[in-house]
């Protein structure tokens, strides 16, 4: 559910209530002085043109406000993610000055919007003041014909009439803004091309993959259908239960190979990529991603309880979840902080513990194919040893593809795939690669 979905009903209710209050106030004032009803049609016309002018201006300023805040938010997020680098190079003052510049720029549209709102309040106050003058003139003129109680009620309503009119215009503006957001979402949904292709219609049977055989033949892939190739002529056969280490220098295509397996890149014509005999080019991409078990380099946690994060699809009981957390030696910490029902916030685990928790989640998912994307590159030595031991124990019968930063972690794997510029340059056992003058040997010794 989006923010628009949440706000829209409240905006509509506020607009309806403000409209009803305004109508009732106008009726009560007309009852006090019957000639006052002649003033209502001109007021409605004035309100129509006023809201039309205000809405057009306010909408443009709101868009300017959003555009001005975007660079500020981007700079803040980038500064937060690169805080260590900024401090180590002494760039804090430069980033602080840049942040202040973006902050000043982001406030200009906001102050303009604030001025527009004050202008609206002033115009409505003047309008209501004019209505009050007309109402008092009628009351004085018709003082012998009007009940004193009606006069007091009319004066009470005219005092709050400007606030009610302001709420109507503001809520109408917010309602149109929300409807515009919904319109843009609908337009995006209708006109943005889906990543799923017409031929991707075959849904594998429940429990696929059952063995974990992977065959890549002349696989070429790119980020877009007509973009440059980032994976080139890759041919590889991986047997069920085989442990494959993937290595190479930065930009060699290791991550591209993994994302190709998850169908996040577009396969070029003539490429063949199968799992247990099923061509992935014919399977919906969501089914492919749901069938594979992945542990990313950056831990991903969801807002919610420990139980929800460990088992988002609610497929396991508490005993099974607890046992998986025990295997990665985190249960004592989880139990001390309240157990499985405890909310998992940013300070619950350290970075290494978050990675161990993701490993526990992978243990619960269970798949015949496990993909490890440099899972131990940013953890300490003790956590690294624990993760390696748990991976070898829990996924002993699964096919493992591990992108490795520390080559010691894959030196006991069945085979090593060395990538360079998106191509597979070496694919052999670690022992054979280390025995000859190979790229893997060069990387291992560097």
Edge-to-edge strand ranges of the sheet holding 423-428: 293-295, 369-373, 399-403, 243-247, 415-420, 423-428
236 and 127 within one domain = no
The answer as to whether 199 is a domain residue is no
The answer as to whether 208 is a domain residue is no
**Angular region, 31: left φ>0, alpha ψ -120 to 50, beta rest:** alpha
Q: What is the model's pLDDT at position 345?
A: 80
Angle between helices 40-81 and 148-191 (to 10 degrees): 50
Q: What is the model's pLDDT at position 185?
A: 77
- Which H/E stretch holds residue 234? strand 229-238
358 Cβ contact partners less than 8 Å away, ≥ 6 residues apart:
295, 296, 299, 300, 375
Residue spans of alpha helices (H) in 82-147: 83-88, 92-141
d(CA 255, CA 246): 9
Q: Count the domains in the chain.
A: 2
For 307-420, strand residue ranges (E) read 369-373, 399-403, 415-420
The answer as to whether 195 is a domain residue is no
- Which H/E stretch holds residue 344? none
The answer as to whether 151 is a domain residue is yes
183 and 92 within one domain = yes
93 and 233 within one domain = no
406 and 277 within one domain = yes
Backbone φ and ψ of 222, nearest 5°: -145, 165
Q: What is the model's pLDDT at position 3?
A: 43
Q: What is the model's pLDDT at position 151?
A: 66
343 and 253 within one domain = yes
d(CA 53, CA 23): 22
Q: What is the model's pLDDT at position 81?
A: 85
Backbone φ and ψ of 420, nearest 5°: -155, 120
State whether residue 420 is helix, strand or coil. Answer: strand
The answer as to whether 231 is a domain residue is yes
What CATH number does the domain containing 367 carry? 3.40.50.300
Q: What is the model's pLDDT at position 40?
A: 74
**Longest distance between any two alpha carbons in the chain, whole Å:** 114
**Angular region, 212: left φ>0, alpha ψ -120 to 50, beta rest:** left
d(CA 166, CA 116): 12
What is the full per-residue pLDDT of the chain (446 aa) written as tens digits? 444 444 556 555 665 666 666 676 666 666 666 666 777 788 778 878 877 787 778 778 877 887 888 899 999 999 988 888 898 889 999 999 999 999 999 899 888 888 887 888 788 788 878 877 877 777 777 666 666 666 666 666 666 766 777 777 777 767 766 666 677 778 788 887 778 888 888 889 888 999 999 999 999 999 887 888 999 999 999 999 999 999 988 888 888 999 999 999 989 988 999 999 999 999 999 999 989 998 888 888 888 899 999 998 888 999 999 999 999 999 999 999 888 999 888 778 887 888 899 899 999 988 899 998 887 777 778 888 888 899 889 998 899 999 987 888 888 899 999 999 889 999 999 999 999 899 999 888 87
222 and 161 within one domain = no
255 and 120 within one domain = no
What CATH number does the domain containing 128 carry? 1.20.1560.10
What are the C-alpha distances in Å from 132 to residues 57, 159, 167, 255?
Answer: 28, 8, 19, 72
d(CA 318, CA 309): 13
The answer as to whether 206 is a domain residue is no
Q: What is the model's pLDDT at position 54?
A: 78
The last residue of a domain, from among 190, 223, 257: 190
286 and 425 within one domain = yes
Q: What angle do CA 215, 218, 221 make, to 5 degrees?
A: 100
Cβ–Cβ under 8 Å, residues 247 and 403: yes
d(CA 323, CA 60): 56
79 and 182 within one domain = yes
Cis peptide upstream of residue 103 (ω within 30 degrees of 0): no
Residue spans of alpha helices (H) in 142-229: 148-191
Q: What angle do CA 102, 66, 115 make, to 5 degrees?
A: 85
Q: Closest Cα to residue 234, out of 247, 249, 218? A: 218
The answer as to whether 424 is a domain residue is yes
359 and 297 within one domain = yes
233 and 306 within one domain = yes
Q: What is the model's pLDDT at position 130?
A: 82
Domain hosting residue 276, numbered range: 214-445
The answer as to whether 19 is a domain residue is yes
Q: Closest Cα to residue 154, out of 124, 134, 174? A: 134
295 and 149 within one domain = no
Q: What is the model's pLDDT at position 218?
A: 92
């Amino acid at each position: 559910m989006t923010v628009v979905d949440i706000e829209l009903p409240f905006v509509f209710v506020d607009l309806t209530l403000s409209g009803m209050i305004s109508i009732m106030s106008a009726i009560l004032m007309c009852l006090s002085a019957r000639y006052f009803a002649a003033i209502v049609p001109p007021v409605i016309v004035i309100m129509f043109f006023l809201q039309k002018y205000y809405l057009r201006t306010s909408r443009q300023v709101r868009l300017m406000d959003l555009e001005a805040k975007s660079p500020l938010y981007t700079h803040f997020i980038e500064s937060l993610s690169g805080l260590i680098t900024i401090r180590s190079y002494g760039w804090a003052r430069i980033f602080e000055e840049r942040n202040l510049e973006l902050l000043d720029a982001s406030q200009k549209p906001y102050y303009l919007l604030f001025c527009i709102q004050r202008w609206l309040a002033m115009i409505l106050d003047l309008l209501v003041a004019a209505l009050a003058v007309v109402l008092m003139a009628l009351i004085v003129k018709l003082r012998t014909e009007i009940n004193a109680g009606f006069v007091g009620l009319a004066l009470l309503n005219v005092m709050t009439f400007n606030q009610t009119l302001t709420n109507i215009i503001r809520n109408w503006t917010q309602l149109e803004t929300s409807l515009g957001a919904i319109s843009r979402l609908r337009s995006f949904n209708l006109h943005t091309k889906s990543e799923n292709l017409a031929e991707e219609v075959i849904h594998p049977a429940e429990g696929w993959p059952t063995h974990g055989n992977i065959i890549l033949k002349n696989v070429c892939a790119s980020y877009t259908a007509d973009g440059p190739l980032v994976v080139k002529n890759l041919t590889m056969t991986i047997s069920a239960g085989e442990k494959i280490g993937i290595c190479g220098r930065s930009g060699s295509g290791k991550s591209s190979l993994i994302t190709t397996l998850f169908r996040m890149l577009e396969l070029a014509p003539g490429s063949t990529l199968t799992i247990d005999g099923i061509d992935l080019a014919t399977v919906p991409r969501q089914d492919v991603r749901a069938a594979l078990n992945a542990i990313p380099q950056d831990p991903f946690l969801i807002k919610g309880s420990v139980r929800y994060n460990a088992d988002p699809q609610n497929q396991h009981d508490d005993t099974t979840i607890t046992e998986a957390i025990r295997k990665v030696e985190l249960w004592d910490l989880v139990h001390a902080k309240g157990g499985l029902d405890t909310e998992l916030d940013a300070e619950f685990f350290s970075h290494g513990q978050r990675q161990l928790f993701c490993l526990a989640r992978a243990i619960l998912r269970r798949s015949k194919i496990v993909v490890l994307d440099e899972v131990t590159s940013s953890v300490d030595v003790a956590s690294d040893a624990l993760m390696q031991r748990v991976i070898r124990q829990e996924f002993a019968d699964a096919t493992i593809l591990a992108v490795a930063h520390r080559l010691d972690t894959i030196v006991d794997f069945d085979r090593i795939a060395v990538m360079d510029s998106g191509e597979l340059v070496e694919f052999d056992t670690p022992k054979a690669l280390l025995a000859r003058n190979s790229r893997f040997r060069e990387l291992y010794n560097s």
